[in-house]
Amino acid sequence: MMWDRLKTPLLALSVCLNAAFFAFWLAQALPGLNTGPDVMEGVVDDIAGLATLHREIGVTPEQWMRIEPYVLHFREESEGQLRILGGLHDQLMDLLAAAEIDEPAIRAKQEEIVAGQRQMQDLVFELLYREKEILTLEQRRELLRAIHQSCTVAAKSCSQTDGSAQ
């Protein structure tokens, strides 16, 4: 009986976490971003995260100089959004752990999480849209292929974790 009541919220939580992975992956790739004036000059080796990914897809120093402001904006905005989402997930966990299940409160929290994830998706879309104006068609394809591959690996990892919990 208890499992039946928790199954839907837990499944929704799992889906939400998987859907947010891409945004999380991008945000985690950014903290070590080097923003000095010599960025991408001959492609600096210590550039982390997205700069490294961009280097792998053949972004030129000129392209990087145009992309970097968008990446920095994404970094700033996504870090704040991820903090908000983390707090919402914590609140959802508290609701699920309560002695009495408050289904309306759980559903409302899920809606807040979905709205927060939508905002995160908007940030990702904005970054990719801005890059589309700068990258060549082949670079865009390679970037999306790398992102898709990372998301696929993460989804498989999450599904293996979810499957072992059952």
Taking the C-alpha atoms of residue 124 and residue 127, their distance in angstroms, rounded to an integer, is 5
How much is the pTM? Answer: 0.64
**Range 88-115 average pLDDT:** 94
Instruction: Count CB-CB contacts under 10 A for residue 154.
Output: 16
Complete domains list, the chain, with CATH: 49-152 (1.20.120.1490)
Output the six-digit token pair for 94: 């508290």
Taking the C-alpha atoms of residue 46 and residue 34, their distance in angstroms, rounded to an integer, is 8
> Are the C-beta atoms of residues 7 and 106 closer than 8 Å to each other?
no
> Are the C-beta atoms of residues 9 and 96 closer than 8 Å to each other?
yes
Taking the C-alpha atoms of residue 158 and residue 152, their distance in angstroms, rounded to an integer, is 10
> Are the C-beta atoms of residues 88 and 112 closer than 8 Å to each other?
yes
Q: Rounded mean pLDDT of the chain? A: 74
pLDDT at 107: 95
> Are the C-beta atoms of residues 161 and 71 closer than 8 Å to each other?
no
Output the six-digit token pair for 14: 């799992």
Taking the C-alpha atoms of residue 42 and residue 83, their distance in angstroms, rounded to an integer, is 35
Lowest mean pLDDT among 51-60, 81-90, 93-102, 114-123: 51-60
Condensed to tens digits (0 to 9), the pLDDT of residues 35-68 reads: 333 433 332 332 356 778 888 899 999 999 999 9
